Amino acid sequence: MIGPEIERLIQLLSKLPGLGPRSARRAALHLMKRRDSLLIPLSEAMAAAGESIRACSVCGNLDSRDPCTVCSDHTRDRSVICVVEDAGDLWALERTRAFRGTYHVLGGLLSALQGVGPDDLNIGGLAERAKDPAVREIILALNATVDGQTTAHVVTDRLTESDVSVSRLAHGVPVGGELDYLDDGTLTAALKARRPL
């Protein structure tokens, strides 16, 4: 005897990472008790994000501008491109304020299990960007997991034609760890101590 509007809200909330059916019910109740302070603003923020957020045509970052805020910032160092799995990893690196270059978002990692091949990732766009003589270095900031390291090797292979040096994040990233779960200090140290491949 729960109304269909509430049922649908609960069902959609339960698809968010970190929320199951029970916590989605709690979230729905929480939202409906705070209609004006949370439910309506969140609905509008989602609509605004859905309306305006697109993948940057240069680097693949998610932003309401195209090229994105990073790509159109003339103070950023265009000679260095940092390659990340997704926008969440880009945000993590931006939070450290330790990197002043540009990014390239692959849109995932190679994965035999999940059937993700090289053509599913934005590797071609990176190879194109690497042909620009202004680009000197490409930093692979990928997870220290099997999929991340496999992806790093494939990306490096595609960059051999270009006259760029390719580096990866220093060890300091715990083996098996994921970027989004690292503290900013570790990320900063790993970025500074990057080593040539």
| Interacting residue ranges for a second copy, rule: CB under 8 A | 1-6, 8-9, 12-13, 15-19, 22-23, 25-33, 35, 38-50, 52-53, 62-65, 68-70, 73, 86-88, 91, 94, 180-181
**What is the smallest separation between the CB atom of 145 and a second copy, expressed in angstroms?**
17
Comparison of 31 and 191: residue with beta carbon closer to a second copy: 31
DSSP 8-state assignment for residue 143: -
First-last CA distance in the chain: 61
Alpha-carbon distances, residue 4 vs 18, 20, 34, 39, 47 (angstroms): 23, 19, 19, 17, 21
**What is the smallest separation between the CB atom of 106 and a second copy, expressed in angstroms?**
13
**What is the smallest separation between the CB atom of 66 and a second copy, expressed in angstroms?**
11
- Residue 196, strand partner residues: 167
96 near 188, Cβ under 8 Å? yes
Comparison of 70 and 138: residue with beta carbon closer to a second copy: 70
Q: Return the amino acid letter for 108.
A: G
**What is the smallest separation between the CB atom of 182 and a second copy, expressed in angstroms?**
11
